[in-house]
Amino acid sequence: MSEHLLLADIGNTCIKIVFARPDALEAAYSLPTRAQHTADSLGLSLLQLVALRGLRPEDISACLVCSVVPDVNALFHEALRKYLNKTPFTFPGDFYIDLVNGYDQPQEVGADRLLAAFAARKLFPDAPSIISVDFGTATTFDCVSGDTYLGGLICPGLFSSRNALAANTAKLPRISLEMTEDHVRIGRNTVTSMNHGFLFGFAAMTEGLCQRLKEQLPGPTFVVGTGGAARDLSRICRAFDIVRPDLILEGLRLLWVRGGVRATA
Residue 175: its pLDDT value, please? 77
Residue 263 confidence (pLDDT)? 46
CB 89 within 8 A of CB 63: yes
Task: Measure the CA–CA gap between 192 and 138, rounded to whole angstroms.
Answer: 23
Question: Which of 9, 40, 112, 134 is flagged as catalytic?
Answer: 112
Question: Please, which residues have CB within 8 angstroms of residue 98's CB and are 6 or more apart in sequence?
Answer: 147
Q: Nearest-5° angle of CA 204, CA 210, CA 214? A: 150
CA distance 132 to 121: 9
CA torsion sign, 50 to 53 to 57 to 60?
negative
Q: Is residue 40 flagged as an active site residue?
A: no
Q: Which domains does the chain have, with CATH numbers?
A: 4-91 (3.30.420.40), 100-247 (3.30.420.40)
Torsion sign, CA atoms 10, 11, 12, 14: negative
Q: Alpha-carbon distance 245 to 59, whole Å? A: 26
**What are the pLDDT tens digits along the chain (265 aa)?**
578 999 999 999 899 999 999 999 999 999 998 878 999 999 999 999 999 999 999 999 999 999 999 999 999 999 999 999 999 999 988 988 889 999 999 999 999 999 999 999 999 999 999 999 999 999 999 999 999 999 999 999 998 888 888 788 877 777 778 777 888 889 898 888 888 899 999 999 999 999 999 999 998 999 999 998 999 999 999 999 999 999 999 999 999 988 766 644 3
pLDDT confidence of residue 260: 63
